[in-house]
Structure 1
Amino acid sequence: MFTTPVRRAASLVRAQYGPHINGKFVEGSGSSIPVLNPATNQPITSVTSASPSDVASAITSAQEIFNAGTWSRAPVLERSKALTRLARLLEARVGDLAEVESLQTGRTIREMKVQLGRLPEWIDYFAALVRTQQGFVAPTQGPLLNYVTRVPLGVVAQITPFNHPLLIAVKKIAPALAAGNSVIVKPSELAPITVLEFAELAVEAGIPASALQILPGGPETGQAIVSDPRLRKVDVTAGTAAGRAIGSTVGKNLASYTAELGGKAPIVVFGDADLEVSVNGAAFACFVATGQTCVSGTRLIVEDTIYDVFVERFVEKLKSIDKRIGDPMNPKSTIGPLISASALSRTESAISNLPPHVQILHGGKRLVSPSQLDSFPLSKGNFFPPTLVANVKPTDTLWTEEVFGPVVALTKFTGEQEGIQLANACKYGLGAGVWTSDVGRAVRVSKEIEAGLVWVNAHHRNDPSSPWSLGSGARTGSRRLRVIRRARARLYARLRLKR
C-alpha cells in the first residue's frame, strides 16, 4: 500500500478547520463535522461548521468591503494582477493540493494531478478577460451618447459539491472576483479542505480579506447563506432536488440564480466509430471519478451493427479496470471509492432494485477482496466496481434517475434517428457524447441532442473559453463574466467641453 503518500498528504492537512472569515481561520460556532477518507472511512480532520450567526457576520463584512470599494471599485488592472498572482500561487501548490484532494474525495492521484494542474488556466483566463470587457458605446438615435459599463453585483454566494471540490470552486470564484464581487463559498461538508486552503492563497495574493470567505458546514449553513436577502446572486452545483429547493428560497429574495444540477449523459456510439478508441473513450466517460460527475456517461447507446463486438470489448476493458482498482494514492490505480458509505448504499440499492428484464454484464457487487493491484484492503472503503447493465428500457429507473456511481445502462439502436431519440429520452440535458468517424453525422447528431455540452469523440474535456451552459446559467466562458455583473447605462445629452 502507498502509506508514504497518504502520510504526506495527511501532514498537509490541519488538525482542525473552521470558517475562513475576514482573511483568517476562525473557530466556528456550529457543529463539528469529521472529514473521512472514503478509501478507509477513517477521519482525516474535522471542520467546525459556520453557524447562522457566523454566516450573518461573514455576509456583513462582505457587504461592507463591497460598499467601501476596496475590491469592487479597484482598477480592473489591479484586480487582474491580483488574480494572476493567485494563479501562480496555486500553480506552485498543485502537487500538495492534488494529494489532499485525493485523500478527501478518494479520487485517484493520477486524476487529481491532471485536474488540478489545469486550474491556474481558469484564473488566468478571467484575469485577462476582465481587462477586455470594461465598457462600450451603444448605438442610439438622436444627439445622445450611450455609454454602457458592467459593474459587480455585490455579495454573491456559491455552493460547491464534493466530486470536484477545488475545480468547481475555482471556476466559480475566478470570474466572480474578476468582476469585483464579494464572494461567499460553502464547500461540501464531505470534502472542504482544499477550498479552505485556497482561501489562504487568495489572501497571500493580495485579494482583500473579506472579498473571499469560505463557510464550511452542512444544510443548516447552506440554508442560512442562501436565505440571506443581502445576496445578489447564488450559484449552485448540486443535485436536482437541492437545486430546486435553493432556487425557491433565492427567488423569494429576487436574487439572480445559476444552477448546475443532475444529469444522465448519453454516450451514443455509431457503427462507423473507431472501435478501440470508442471503447476506451466510453469507459473514460462512464467511470472517471467513479461515475460521480453530473456529465458521467450513464446511458451507453450503441448501434446494432457493432453492438456485440463493442460490448465484448467494453466488458474486457472493465475487467482490466478491475485489476487496477487499489489505493487511490497509487499512480497506477484507475478509479477510487465512492465518497461515502451512504453513496455506496445508494449504489447497491440501485442494483438490488433492477427490474427482472435487465442483465448485469459486469460488476454489480461491492468490492471486499484485497486489491489485485497493490493488496489495498478495499473492504474498508466504499469501493464499487464499474458496472454494466444491459437491456435497460427508457422507462426504467436506471435510465431516468441518477445513481451517481459507476453504474451504466446499456441499450442498442438502429439508425441515426433512433439513436438521437434514445439520447433525448430523459428529463436531463446537461452533457452528451457522440462517437463517429463521419463528420456530417457528427454535426447533425450533435445539433439534435438536447444537451448544454456535446462532446464528439471525446468526453469531460473543457476549456476556460467554452461556455458550460448547464441547468440554469453559464459556469465558464466569456458569458460567465457577463452574468456575474450587471449592466449600467449612462445617457449623455447636450454636453460640451469646457475651455
Structure 2
Amino acid sequence: MCLLQPFNHPLFIAVKKIAPALAAGNSVIVKPSELAPVSVLEFAEMAEEAGLPKGVLSVLPGYGATTGKELVSNPIIRKVDITAGTATGRELGAIVGSNLAMFTAELGGKAPIVVFNDADPVSAANGAAFACFVASGQTCISGTRLIVQDEIYDEFMRHFLHKVESIRIRMGHPLNPQSTMGSVISLKQLERIQAIVQRKGKGTGKIVAGGERMTGESALDKFDFSQGAFFPPTVITNVSTEDDLWREEVFGPVVVIKRFSEEQEGVRLANACKYGLGAGIWTQDLSRAHRVAADIEAGLVWVNTHHRNDPSSPWGGMKESGVGRENGLEAYEAYTQSKSTIVNIATAKETREVQDWFAYDGESRRYG
C-alpha cells in the first residue's frame, strides 16, 4: 500500500490512512510532503519501538513529481491512497488505473457555509471564522464561500468582521500560544494567494478585510512578519460565481461572501462549484438542516459547527473532490479484497453420483 500525504495536518492525515491499512494486514509505504516530513518520520520510529515489525511501515520522503510518481507506478503497489489537489489526483489516478490497482483520493475543496435567517448570528460568525481561518485556511474543508441569507446578513457581517479583525491584531510569533493564526506554508504559496486575491477575476469583488501580505511588527508581541509568509484573514464580498475566487481552491485564509433570499437559492449557490468535499449549515430549524444537507453536493456536511471529525464516520468528497472514503469501516474495507472459497462437503460416493457431468446414464443435466 502506498500513502501520499499533504503538508497540512501531516501526522493526523497520515495516521488516518496508516491505521486501517495496518489493521487490514498490509505493509505500508508513506511518502510525506516534502514541506512537512518530520512528524511522519518520527511516528514511524515510534511505531517500530512499540513493536511494529521492521519494514511493515516505511517512510520515504521526496518530491511528489518524482518520488511519488515512481511509487504509484510500481506494479507491486496494489492500493494508493492520497490527499492532494485535484490535478495531482487525476494524474496519479491515471497511473494507478493503468496498473489496475485500487485508489482512494481526498482532493480539492471549496466548502460553502450557508447561514440562514434563524441562525444565532454570534455563534454563526464565530463558527464561520473557525471554519475559514483555522490552520490559516490551509485545509481541504476550509470554509471558503459564505452564503448568508438577507435578513441576518448585516448583523452577521458585523460580528464576523469584528472577529476577523480580532484574529488579525492577535497574530504574532508562531510559537506564541496567544497568537491566533500562523503563516501559510511557503512564500511561493503566499504569492499565489496574493495574486488570486488582487486579480479578483473579471472585475468583481470588494475586499473588506485583509488582502495584502503582512509586514512590520505584530501588535501582539512585536514579531517581525517579514520573517515569514504571513497573510491576514481576508474577506471579499460581491464575487461573481464565475470568478476564480468562487470556483478555485485558494488554500489560504481567504473567504468570499454572497447573500441570498430563498432556501433553494442558497442551495444553488452552495452547489455552484466543481468541488464537493465539505459544507456547513447554520440554522435552528432541524427539518431545514436535514433537507439542505441532503441537497448540498458534498461528502461531509456540518450543522451549526465545522471541522469536527468522528473517526467512525465516512470522510470523502463528491464531484471533483475525490473518490472513495476514509475513516470507519469503509476505510478498513478499502484496504482489503474479498475472496470466495467454494468447498464441496459431500462424501466421495455422493460426489461420484452427482458431479459426473459426462456420465453415461442418459439423464439430462443442467449447468448452474
**Given the two structures, how large is their TM-score scaled by the length of structure 1?**
0.68
Does residue 332 of structure 2 align to residue 485 of structure 1? no
For structure 1, the 5+ residue unaligned runs are 1-155
| Corresponding residue of 1:306 | 152
1:345-384 correspondence runs (5 A): 345-354=191-200, 355-384=202-231
Which piece of structure 1 moves more, 212-221 or 354-363?
354-363
Aligned to 2:256: 409
SS at match of 1:317: helix
Cα distance in 2 for residues equivalent to 1:174 and 1:287: 28
Q: Where does residue 87 of structure 1 map in the other structure?
A: none
Alpha-carbon offset, residue 334 of structure 1: 1.0
The aligned residue for residue 342 of structure 1 is 188
Assess if the C-alpha contact under 8 Å between 2:204 and 2:240 holds in 1.
Answer: no
Report matched runs for 1:187-336 at 5 Å: 187-218=32-63, 219-336=65-182
Mapped contact 2:5–2:84 kept (Cα < 8 A): yes
1:222-241 C-alpha deviation (Å, 9 max, x unpaired): 11101101110000100111
Aligned match for 2:31, one of 177, 186, 194: 186
What is the CA deviation profile of residues 415-458 of structure 1, one whole-angstrom value per residue up to 9, with x for unaligned ones?
A: 11000000000000000000001111111101110000000001
Q: Decide whether the 8 Å contact of 2:204 with 2:243 is kept in 1.
A: no
Whole-Å Cα distance in 1 between the matches of residues 345 and 203 of structure 2?
A: 78
* Partner-residue secondary structure (3-state), 1:210: coil
Amino acid at match of 1:314: F
Q: Secondary structure of the residue that 2:173 maps to in structure 1?
A: coil
Cα offsets for 1:49-72 (capped at 9, x unmatched): xxxxxxxxxxxxxxxxxxxxxxxx
State the alpha-carbon separation in 2 of the partners of residues 401 and 290 from structure 1: 17
Q: Distance in 2 between matches of 1:480 and 1:220?
A: 27
Residue among 17, 21, 30 paired with 1:176: 21
Q: Matches of 2:316 and 2:226 in 1, distance apart?
A: 39
**Structure 1 residue 312, shift from structure 2 partner:** 1.6
Per-residue CA deviation, residues 306-340 of structure 1 (Å, 9 max, x unaligned), is: 11121121111111001111112111111100000
Structure 2: which amino acid aligns with 1:214? V
| 1:125-164 correspondence to structure 2 within 5 Å | 156-164=1-9
Cα drift, residue 371 of structure 1: 0.9
Q: Deviations over 1:174-223 (max 9, x none)?
A: 00001100100000000000000001011011111111000001021111
CA–CA separation in structure 2 for the residues paired with 1:396 and 1:317: 26
Once residues 381 and 214 of structure 1 are traced to their aligned partners in structure 2, the CA distance between those partners, rounded to angstroms, is: 28
User: In the alignment, what sits opposite 1:62?
Assistant: none
Counterpart-to-counterpart distance in 2, 1:466 and 1:259: 17
Residue 489 (structure 1) shift: 1.9
Q: Which amino acid aligns with 2:338?
A: A
The whole-number CA distance in structure 1 between the counterparts of 2:95 and 2:185 is 28
> Could you state the TM-score of these two structures normalised by the residue count of structure 2?
0.91
Paired with 1:212 and 1:191, the residues of 2 have a C-alpha distance of 18
Aligned counterpart, 1:440: 287
Secondary structure (helix, strand or coil) at the match of 1:331 reads: coil
Q: Could you tell me the percent identity over the aligned residues?
A: 59
**3-state DSSP of counterpart to 1:467:** coil
Work out the CA distance in 2 between the residues paired with 1:372 and 1:343.
24
**Cα deviation digits, residues 104-124 of structure 1 (max 9, x gap):** xxxxxxxxxxxxxxxxxxxxx
* Partner SS state of residue 493, structure 1: coil
State the shift of 1:282 in Å. Answer: 0.3
2:16 counterpart letter in structure 1: K
Instruction: Write the distance in 1 (CA, Å) between the matches of 2:316 and 2:36.
Output: 25
DSSP-derived class of the 1:486 partner? coil
RMSD (Å), alpha carbons: 1.1
Q: 3-state DSSP class of the match of 2:164?
A: helix
Deviating more after overlay: 404-413 vs 308-317: 308-317
Cα contact 2:206–2:237 (8 A) shared by 1: yes
- CA drift at 1:493: 2.4
Question: What pairs with 1:451-470 in structure 2 (closer than 5 Å)?
Answer: 451-470=298-317
Which amino acid counterpart does residue 292 of structure 2 have in structure 1? V
How far apart are residue 491 of structure 1 and its match?
2.1
- For residue 12 of structure 2, what is the amino acid of its counterpart? L
The alpha-carbon deviation at position 492 of structure 1 amounts to 2.4
Task: State the secondary structure of the residue aligned to 1:184.
Answer: strand
| CA deviation after TM superposition for structure 1 residue 495, in Å | 4.5
In terms of Rg, which structure is larger?
2
| 2:245 corresponds to | 398
State the aligned residue count. 342
Report the Cα offset of residue 374 of structure 1.
Answer: 1.0
